[in-house]
Amino acid sequence: MAKPFLIFDLDDTLFDSEAAYAYSLKSIGIDPDSTEYQEARKMVKSRLGEGHVSARNRILYFKQMLDQRKQYSHSQVLDLMDKYETCLSEHIKNQWVMLGRKYLFQNRLKNIPKVIITNENLRTQVIKLNAIDPDGSLFPYVITSEEMGREKPHLALFQQAAEILGAEPKDGIMVGDSLENDIHPAIQLGMRAYLTTEFRNLGHHQDIPKEIQVVNRLQDLERLFHE
């Protein structure tokens, strides 16, 4: 049998991105639930249209927000982004330690090839990955929607992951927190797939079909690779 490989989603799978975003926004004086921020976000998304690969980039929201306040300047938007990225990086670095992830990835899962596929811009994802794995020894491969010009659930990201490793998609094992973006497309390509529910309110997952395999904590993946 061909050697299996792992594909991981990044956000809300390897760490709690929602918490990191909320912390970082608050740290730079932005309430993520405020009408002001939500309106800026909505404006960016509606201008770009459904599924656009730049629609999650926070610098676009910050620029739009400053425009709305009539406070835009080049230095202001870069200053906000710079501080936001610093907070994001610190929060994720701390989470990684608290979650004990290093142990999981340096031991049981160490010798299984891994690729990360993620819907975000490359810069933001590299900042997050640099926080948890600066030398790329745990996760040498990352594929972003920005680079592919398409977002998951498009199969191109999954196929590219296999191609990078010179493997067949059917030998892939997908791990992610979204049924729609991670699990369904993986199954469509004949991969095994595990839905993670570690950082999500179970209410989001009321409709998990019975045949979908669920991993409540990422650490539970370890047992899958016991002989």
Q: Interface residues with Mg ion (CB under 5 A)?
A: 9, 11-12, 177
Cα separation of 178 and 207, whole Å?
A: 12
Cα separation of 142 and 132, whole Å?
A: 13
Locate tokens 């993620």: which residue? Answer: 118
User: Which one, 11 or 146, has the nearer CB to Mg ion?
Assistant: 11
**Closest separation between CB of residue 13 and Mg ion, Å?**
5
DSSP bridge pairs for 7: 115, 174
User: Which one, 32 or 76, has the nearer CB to Mg ion?
Assistant: 32
Grouping H, G, I as helix, E, B as strand and the rest as coil, residue 114 is strand
**Closest separation between CB of residue 178 and Mg ion, Å?**
5
**Closest separation between CB of residue 217 and Mg ion, Å?**
16
CB 217 within 8 A of CB 44: no
Number of residues in the chain: 227
| Cβ-proximal residues to 204 (8 Å cutoff; 6+ apart), any chain | none
User: Which one, 9 or 65, has the nearer CB to Mg ion?
Assistant: 9
Residue type for 113, please? P
User: Which one, 77 or 116, has the nearer CB to Mg ion?
Assistant: 116
**Closest separation between CB of residue 196 and Mg ion, Å?**
8
